Amino acid sequence: MDGEKGIILRVVAGKDLTSEEREEVVALCDLAYEEDMGAIIRQFVDPVHVLGFLNKQLVCHALWITRYLQPEGLPLLRTAYVEAVATHPDYQHRGFASAIMHRVVEEIQDFEIAGLAPFSVDYYARLGWELWRGPLYERRQEGLVSSLPEDELMIYRLLKTPALDLDAPISVEWREGEVW
């Protein structure tokens, strides 16, 4: 038993997921997000998944990929960027996503910082994540480009996280689709 409320958590590199497990992850995310998540999940390079099982059924999921956040005045920070946090609709509000997120934080301690685009600032704040208040930028070939006004970033300080000014500008490398 590895977790809260009977949930069993398993950490697995994306390359080690079976095709059946990959299909289960996509189906779960499709249900939770009410949209086709397959193309989005397949675009992630070298993801690491945390899978949550209840009675051998996949009921929650999160993954992280390596990205590079850069607060103004600091070098690039190797970032565990969390994506696709999902809980099956029939199992929401039971603490399963919180258990997954606690496990993610345990697993990413060798990174300099963690980041994510929140679906709910209040939810992640309860788990120790902090909203970045400063302006967000995308690093592109032509230079820094302002992110969309609705984009949000939350960070989680890890052992290697330097002193941060949450009101300073911060940037991330541009990518296809949702940048943040």
Whether the per-residue pLDDT at 33 is higher than 80: the answer is: yes
3 lies in some domain: no
SS3 (DSSP) at 105: helix
Looking at the domain assignment, is residue 163 inside a domain? yes
Residue span of the structural domain in which 85 resides: 8-173
In a domain, 2, yes or no: no
Is the predicted pLDDT of residue 4 greater than 90, yes or no? no
Res. 12: pLDDT tops 50: yes
Indicate the pTM of the whole model.
0.94
pLDDT in tens, 115-158: 999 999 999 999 999 999 999 999 999 999 999 999 999 999 99
The verdict on residue 87 lying in a domain is yes
- Angstrom distance (rounded) from CA 9 to CA 53: 6
> According to the model, what pLDDT value does residue 5 have?
61
Is the pLDDT at 49 greater than 80? The verdict is: yes
Average pLDDT, the chain: 95
In total, how many domains does the chain have?
A: 1
Q: CB–CB of 132/99 below 8 Å?
A: no
Give dist(CA 171, CA 115) in Å, integer: 12
Percent of the chain with pLDDT over 70: 97
Q: Which of 83, 77, 52, 87 is nearest to 65 (CA)?
A: 83
pLDDT at 6: 87
Residue 2 in this model has a pLDDT that exceeds 80:
no
Q: What is the pLDDT of residue 177?
A: 84
pLDDT of 76 reads 98
* pLDDT for 108: 98
Q: How many CB atoms lie within 10 A of CB 116?
A: 23
CATH of the domain at 99: 3.40.630.30
Q: Over the stretch 77-112, which tens digit does the pLDDT of each residue have?
A: 999 999 999 999 999 999 999 999 999 999 999 999
